[in-house]
């Protein structure tokens, strides 16, 4: 016989929310690692001591953690979900009838106390600290990479870069424009490049117009991750413009900050060719003592059939290059303004040389440029064929997997917030959510075993 569900007539229930959240629920496991006592302490100076009590900041942080862990991108929807979902209510300590804050509370706090107190970075670092305490961070090998996240900026409302002027907006600037003005001298934003972008979005001028993904160009920010390769824990995250110079600057910032905050300095760093320019390699090798497992960014290869620089042998002791004919190429030794020495062969040697058509067919003598940091590039080249480098190349894929997870599962393919501060907030929360999920997966706390009566 077909059953029929009738509305129960019972008026009173004996209901315990705790009993209705399964032991293996992701939020229950995340809850074991989320300690917000510190957060309350950090935020205390930003609240007045008199007046009506505010919404509990810990409640807002818990709701934001739910939103970023489960890819709920709209704050309005997040409030509805928390209102209806028993596990969310349990995680937020709301009980069955606790009042869910209004969605407008989030933007008020985000633009106010949360930014002034830098609380989202504090939350991220608290979670990294917990990963360290749980033994999930090896500290020997790090990997760095950046991924483009579409900005909340419309191409149709953009203006050509050469028609854009900062002076036009100073008087009536929106929040994202004020953020942009505040980061003009920041190495990850305004100071990263002096090249004027092709288009600028007046509603979010810091967003970079980019065609780097080879499809249709769009406005984007870059999220930069520095991860420990043992368990793919994100040890630092940084928002930057979506250009190579800014991403390299962000990598340096993250390496220095991780050393300062957690006393963590890797023995090796894995990255792609974007990080393989001479200044970055020199900084890693000479200043930081980190082995660069990074392919060298090298434009000395020639594809017109003439000799590349690799055909010549560098004699470090004598500071000369030796050509295939055994002739020497010398430099004046003066440090040039573009940081590149030029080694020249003699016209007496090159003129009658039988290899001249393959060496310097269009010039009277051969010239070889050498960066002042070429020795650091040589260190990177010497590591390139080693098994350790091959291992790092495999481990580097873990960052790419984190970015894929970020976009597909956490649904952060497009930003909701504008400006450098908006991008920073979103990237910090997303990285916090990814680390919390990793903690919950790798260090599950088993429910207590029932004791025999
Ligand atoms: S052209 Fe000059 S530099 Fe080149 S192989 Fe001949 S002598 Fe050496």
Ligand 1 centroid distance, CA of 371 (Å): 21
Pocket test for ligand 1, best of 323, 351, 354, 363 (most atoms within 8 A of CB): 323
The ligand 1 atom nearest the CA atom of 326: 8
The ligand 1 atom nearest the CA atom of 323: 8
Tens-level pLDDT at each residue, the chain (453 residues): 787 777 777 777 788 888 888 888 999 999 999 988 888 888 888 888 888 888 888 999 999 999 999 999 999 999 999 999 999 999 999 988 889 999 888 888 887 888 888 899 999 999 999 999 999 998 899 999 999 999 998 888 888 888 877 776 666 677 777 778 778 777 778 777 777 888 888 888 889 998 877 778 899 999 999 999 999 999 999 999 999 999 999 999 999 999 999 999 999 999 999 999 989 999 999 999 999 999 988 777 788 888 998 899 999 889 999 999 999 999 887 777 778 889 999 999 999 999 999 999 989 999 998 888 888 998 999 998 899 999 999 999 999 999 999 999 999 999 999 989 999 999 999 999 999 999 999 988 766 555 555
Question: What pLDDT does residue 170 have?
Answer: 61
Assigned token pair, 261? 């905050």
Ligand 1 centroid distance, CA of 314 (Å): 14
Domain ranges of the chain: 17-117, 138-295+384-422, 309-370
Assigned token pair, 395? 């481990």
Question: What pLDDT does residue 46 have?
Answer: 86
The ligand 1 atom nearest the CA atom of 349: 7
Residue nearest to atom 2 of ligand 1 (CA): 350
Residue nearest to atom 7 of ligand 1 (CA): 350
Assigned token pair, 325? 């004919």
CA distances from 279 to 142, 177, 262, 287 (A): 19, 32, 25, 11
Assigned token pair, 150? 């579409």
Number of other residues whose CB lies within 10 A of the CB of residue 17: 14
Ligand 1 centroid distance, CA of 298 (Å): 22
Residues having CB within 6 Å of any atom of ligand 1: 323-325, 327, 345, 349-350, 353, 355-356, 359-360, 366
The ligand 1 atom nearest the CA atom of 350: 2
Distance CA 274, CA 245 (A): 9
Angle between helices 75-84 and 57-69 (to 10 degrees): 100
Handedness of CA 142, 71, 134, 25 (dihedral sign): negative
Look at residue 380 and give its three-state secondary structure.
helix
Ligand 1 centroid distance, CA of 369 (Å): 15
Residue nearest to atom 8 of ligand 1 (CA): 323
Question: What pLDDT does residue 367 have?
Answer: 92
Handedness of CA 346, 350, 351, 357 (dihedral sign): negative
Architecture of domain 138-295+384-422 in this structure:
2-Layer Sandwich (3.30)
Give 368's strand partners. Answer: 343
Contacts of 290 (CB under 8 A, 6+ apart): 255, 265, 266, 267, 268, 269, 284
Look at residue 26 and give its three-state secondary structure.
helix
Ligand 1 centroid distance, CA of 333 (Å): 21
Exposed/middle/buried for 23, CB within 10 Å: 0-12, 13-18, 19+?
A: exposed
For the stretch 180-189, pLDDT in tens is 877 877 777 8
Distance CA 34, CA 126 (A): 9
Ligand 1 centroid distance, CA of 359 (Å): 6
For the stretch 216-258, pLDDT in tens is 889 999 999 999 999 999 999 999 999 999 999 999 999 999 9
Ligand 1 centroid distance, CA of 323 (Å): 6
Ligand 1 centroid distance, CA of 112 (Å): 67
The ligand 1 atom nearest the CA atom of 356: 1
- pTM, whole model, 2 decimals? 0.88
Distance CA 144, CA 229 (A): 10
Question: What pLDDT does residue 451 have?
Answer: 58
Question: What pLDDT does residue 441 have?
Answer: 93
Look at residue 255 and give its three-state secondary structure.
helix
Ligand 1 centroid distance, CA of 138 (Å): 50
Tell me, what DSSP letter sits at residue 414? B
Whether the CB-CB separation of 100 and 71 falls below 8 Å is answered with: no
Question: What pLDDT does residue 450 have?
Answer: 55
């Amino acid at each position: 016989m077909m059953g029929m569900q009738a509305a129960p007539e019972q008026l009173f229930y004996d209901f315990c929310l705790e009993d209705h959240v399964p032991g293996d629920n992701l939020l229950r496991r995340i809850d074991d690692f989320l300690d917000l006592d510190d957060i309350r302490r950090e935020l205390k100076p930003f609240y007045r001591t008199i007046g009506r009590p505010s919404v509990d900041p810990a409640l807002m942080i818990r709701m934001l953690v739910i939103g970023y862990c489960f890819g709920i991108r709209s704050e309005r929807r997040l409030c509805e979900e928390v209102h209806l979902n028993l596990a969310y209510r349990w995680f937020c300590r709301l009980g069955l009838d606790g009042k869910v804050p209004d969605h407008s509370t989030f933007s008020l706090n985000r633009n106010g106390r949360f930014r002034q107190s830098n609380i989202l970075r504090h939350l991220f670092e608290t979670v990294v600290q917990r990963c360290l305490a749980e033994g999930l961070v090896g500290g020997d090998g790090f990997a760095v990479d950046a991924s483009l996240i579409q900005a909340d900026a419309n191409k149709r409302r953009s203006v050509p870069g050469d028609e854009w002027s900062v002076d036009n907006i100073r008087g009536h600037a929106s929040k994202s424009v004020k953020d942009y003005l505040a980061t003009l001298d920041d190495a990850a934003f305004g100071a990263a490049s002096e090249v004027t972008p092709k288009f600028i979005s007046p509603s979010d001028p810091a967003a970079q117009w980019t065609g780097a993904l080879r499809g249709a160009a769009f406005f984007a920010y870059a999220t930069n991750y520095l991860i420990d390769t043992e368990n793919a824990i994100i040890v630092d995250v940084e928002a930057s413009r979506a250009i190579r110079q800014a991403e390299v600057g962000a990598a340096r910032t993250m390496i220095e900050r991780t050393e300062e905050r957690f006393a963590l300095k890797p023995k090796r760093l894995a990255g792609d060719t974007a990080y393989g320019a001479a200044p970055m390699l020199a900084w890693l090798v000479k200043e930081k003592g980190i082995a660069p497992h990074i392919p060298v960014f090298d434009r000395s290869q020639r594809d017109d059939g003439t000799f590349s620089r690799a055909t010549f042998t560098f004699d470090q002791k004598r500071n000369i290059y030796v050509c295939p004919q055994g002739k020497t190429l010398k430099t004046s030794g003066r440090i040039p303004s573009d940081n590149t020495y030029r080694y020249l062969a003699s016209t007496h040697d090159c003129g009658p040389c039988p290899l001249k058509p393959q060496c310097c067919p269009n010039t009277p003598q051969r010239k070889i440029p050498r960066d002042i940091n070429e020795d650091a590039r040589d260190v990177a080249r010497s590591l390139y064929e080693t098994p350790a480098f091959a291992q790092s190349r495999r481990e580097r894929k873990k960052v790419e997997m984190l970015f894929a997870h970020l976009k597909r599962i956490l649904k952060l393919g497009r930003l909701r917030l504008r400006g450098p501060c908006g991008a920073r907030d979103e990237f910090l929360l997303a990285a916090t959510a990814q680390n919390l999920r990793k903690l919950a997966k790798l260090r599950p706390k088993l429910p207590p075993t029932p004791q025999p009566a």
